[in-house]
Amino acid sequence: MLKIQNLHAEIEEKAILKGLNLSVNAGEVHAIMGPNGAGKSTLANIIAGKEEYEVTQGSIELNNEDLNELAPEERAHAGVFLSFQYPVEIPGVSVTNFIKTAINETRKAKGLEDMPAKDMLKKIREKSELLEIDRKFLSRSLNEGFSGGEKKRNEIFQMAMLEPKLAILDETDSGLDIDALKVVANGVNKLKSKDNAVILITHYQRLLDYIVPDYVHVLHDGKIVKTGDASLAKELEAKGYDWIKKELV
Amino acid sequence: MSKYTEDDLKEELKTKEYEYGFYTAIESEKFAKGLNEDVVRAISKKKNEPEWMTEWRLEAFKIWSKMEEPEWANVKYPKPNFQDIAYYSAPKKKPKLNSLDEVDPELLATFERLGISLEEQKKLANVAVDVVMDSVSVATTFKETLAEKGIIFMPISEAIEKHPDLVKKYIGSVVPPSDNFYAALNSAVFSDGSFCYIPKGVKCPMELSTYFRINEGGTGQFERTLVVADESSYVSYLEGCTAPQRDENQLHAAVVELIALDDAEIKYSTVQNWFPGNAEGKGGVFNFVTKRGLCETNAKISWTQVETGSAVTWKYPSCILKGNYSVGEFYSIAVTNNFQQADTGTKMIHLGKNTKSTIISKGISAGQSQNSYRGLVQVNSRAENSRNFSQCDSLLMGNACGAHTFPYIESKNKSAQIEHEATTSKIGEDQLFYCNQRGIDTEKAIALIVNGFSKEVLNKLPMEFAVEAQKLLEISLEGSVG
Ligand SMILES: Nc1ncnc2c1ncn2[C@@H]1O[C@H](COP(=O)(O)OP(=O)(O)OP(=O)(O)O)[C@@H](O)[C@H]1O
Ligand SMILES: [Mg+2]
């Protein structure tokens, strides 16, 4: 599904990704871990098409289509979803209005009519129940005054509504309490299928107790330096990153 | 990769063409340019006005002749040459029509282009339309329904003829000719406008609406609107306009007077979309408007406005809260783009006890425009327990535009409670990227963010107007993203 080869990227002439390779197939869950500042969010943003970053070398393909050719909204239409590490506030725009616009814009790009109001409401009801979101919450301004955990849960609600092919969750677990983590993880698991893929960016093993990854990657200094199965995460939790850094020299 | 940066956005906003730029080729008759006593008399005669009206105009003209054009607003523009304006213009064929079939097809086509076809409006019902086309009303609808309730809604020239007592009693009672330069000018030369009277205890069953158009090159437009809501009555009045594209400046100096007697309520909503000038700042309408309402005991006046047009706007819909427990409200969205300049706001004059006013102002600036809010809250010494809440928010797009806030507070009563809040924000790259990531393109994202920003005011507009207003916001801020 996703194929990244020898990706180099920089911002303000500072190199951040330095030859990154990553392959994700449909039906898989990948976890990306790594120290602060390693380039994890940068990678997520580049896949999503944030224009501040300049890709200087390498390629990103989604289902054999060159993503570098597409604007961020076109990538979204192609099924890329990013749960932001720091979701932004949009005052005066309700969660419902926002997600309705997102869905209908995506449909429009595919030549479809707006989703009938009845179906939209049904879907909103279903997904908000799945993620145990209070209906009142949906009429509030997007992310305005939301607690850290509420913001993250709202990101996953949007993911559930949009049903992406490739979901990248950037530290969605940070800021969630234990119960919320279970709800969100359960939501993600329910949405998982053989046709879509999930990339989890996280610092903690506890998320991976609930969403079990097929692969765990360590991103360090702009490259994936180690790949393993779920047990690698446990090892990292116990030992930290130093041993990997040492292995590299 | 198709990049879309804030610079592109700014570029696009600059080249945004005026969407409703066109003008109809209806034959008109107009006076030679210039202004003197004879012209004032001629206008009055043309309209078959009674002696008192002619005298009133002449008095106003005398006052105006001694006045200077004001300079205090935060706007810069070439001073109009008042002798280079034709002060009267009327369609030659002035049809008196009962149905749309009789309307000039050219005019109908114009309305269709504006998306405000009368046909549609009639079907939508609940909206009576008094269409002001180049200073003279050419079509009036729904009159009969209104007549049943004793509501008077007609061109002001007709009202001067048919209801002279009412007009004589109230015209100039809230905005006297001596009030300011433009009000004096308007009083001398106004050629048309609307008059509305709601009898005691009557709730007007439909939104009353007027569409103004400036249509004749070089013709100043001087509308006069007078709305009187008698005791315990209610009316919601809508005013909206667009103008054809022009290369020369067009002066517009309207006067709107509202009178809400005891326990009455007037809601006055405006959507204004006059030609703002091209991307270089040339042309465009100069809009110098005096709007003021008077509230008697327990009466309420709400001004709601969405201002997207004009090259220069100078406009302060105000409320004189004369009666105890009266309420004044001002909800405004002012959009400026390219080289537009707007100096708008309100005055809330608290005279009565326990009076209350609310001001919500949303300024959106793009391009190299300047957007100023100027508000006065004045509390008289006898106005015990008066309250005011003001909130002025500015949204900036790009770095070349400006937003300014000038709140003036004059309180002579210690029991008054006055609160003022102000914020300034920018549409951020992060907000746009967030929307893009969810499949919303930048054009739509801006519309979404701007609508969110303006929501408190948009919510105050009547439904059908709110939709139009949202469209206008989109039109005035977006280009076709290509
Ligand atoms: N917009 C930017 N301007 C300048 N430097 C940036 C920018 N974005 C990222 N960087 C730098 O790139 C490096 C990688 O940042 P990134 O946010 O990708 O790290 P991360 O792996 O997600 O870290 P964390 O675990 O703390 O979230 C950091 O050194 C960061 O300071
Ligand atoms: Mg990060």
Which residues 2-41 of B are in CB contact (within 8 Å) with A? 2-5
- Considering only CA atoms, which residue is closest to atom 4 of ligand 1? A11
Classify residue B66 by burial, with Cβ atoms within 10 Å: 0-12, 13-18, 19+: exposed
CA of A36 to the centre of ligand 2 (A): 7
Quick check: ipTM above 0.95? Answer: yes
Q: Classify burial at B385, counting beta carbons within 10 Å of its beta carbon; exposed 0-12, middle 13-18, buried 19 or more.
A: middle
Cβ–Cβ gap B437/A106 under 8 Å: no
Q: Cα(B445)–Cα(B429) distance, rounded to whole angstroms?
A: 11
Nearest Cβ partner for B439 among A50, A76, A87:
A76
Ligand number nearest CA of A222 is 1
Min distance B429 CA to chain A CA atoms (Å):
10
User: For residues A66-95, b (16+ Cβ closer than 10 Å) or e, as one string?
Assistant: ebeebbbbbbbbbbbbbbbbebbbbbbbbb
Find the residues whose C-beta lies inside 6 A of ligand 1. Answer: A 11-12, 16, 34, 36-42, 52, 85
Query: In this structure, are residues B303 and B346 in contact, taking their beta carbons and an 8 Å threshold?
Result: yes
Q: Do A102 and B439 touch (CB under 8 A)?
A: yes
Which chain B residue lies closest to A44 (C-alpha atoms)?
A: B437
Ligand 1 atom closest to A203 (CA): 25
Tokens of B392: 């002025």
Domain ranges of chain A: 2-248
User: How close, in Å, is residue A74 to chain B by CA atoms?
Assistant: 7
Q: Which of A88, A103, A140 to mutate to test the interface with B (most CBs of B within 10 A)?
A: A88
pLDDT digits (tens, 9 = 90+) for A182-215: 999 999 999 999 999 999 999 999 999 999 999 9
Is there a contact between A51 and B5 if contact means CB atoms under 8 Å apart? yes
pLDDT in tens, chain A (249 residues): 999 999 999 999 999 999 999 999 999 999 999 999 999 999 999 999 999 999 999 999 999 999 998 999 999 999 999 999 999 999 999 999 999 999 999 999 999 999 998 899 999 999 999 999 988 899 999 999 999 999 999 999 999 999 999 999 999 999 899 999 999 999 999 999 999 999 999 999 999 999 999 999 999 999 999 999 999 999 998 998 888 888 877
Rounded to an integer, what distance in angstroms lies between the CA atom of residue B444 and that of residue B454?
Answer: 15
The SS3 of residue B366 is coil
B chain contacts of residue A70, beta-carbon cutoff 8 Å = 1-2
Q: E strand or H helix at B334, and its extent?
A: strand B327-336
Measured between beta carbons, the chain B residues lying within 8 angstroms of A98 are: 438, 448
pLDDT score for B474: 75
Q: What is the pLDDT along chain B (482 residues), one digit of tens a residue?
A: 344 444 543 443 343 333 443 344 445 566 767 788 999 999 899 888 999 999 999 999 999 999 988 777 777 777 777 877 777 766 544 334 455 555 556 555 545 544 544 544 343 323 344 544 433 443 444 666 788 899 998 888 889 999 999 999 999 999 999 999 999 999 999 987 889 999 999 999 888 876 444 444 444 578 899 999 999 999 999 887 544 445 455 778 899 999 999 999 999 998 877 777 776 667 777 888 899 999 999 999 999 998 887 777 888 999 999 999 999 999 999 988 878 888 889 999 999 999 999 999 999 988 888 888 999 999 999 999 999 999 999 999 878 888 889 999 999 999 999 999 999 998 888 999 999 999 999 989 998 999 999 999 988 988 767 777 777 777 777 542 32
**Residue ID of nearest Cα to ligand 1 atom 13:** A37
Which residues, in sequence order, are CB contacts of B13 under 8 Å at separation 6+? Answer: B337, B338, B366, B367, B397, B398, B477, B478, B479
C-beta of residue A130 within 8 angstroms of C-beta of residue A123: no
Task: Give Cα separations from B177 to A197, B87, B190, B219, B348 (angstroms).
Answer: 73, 17, 12, 21, 20
Is 3.40.50.720 the CATH classification of the domain at A2-248?
Answer: no
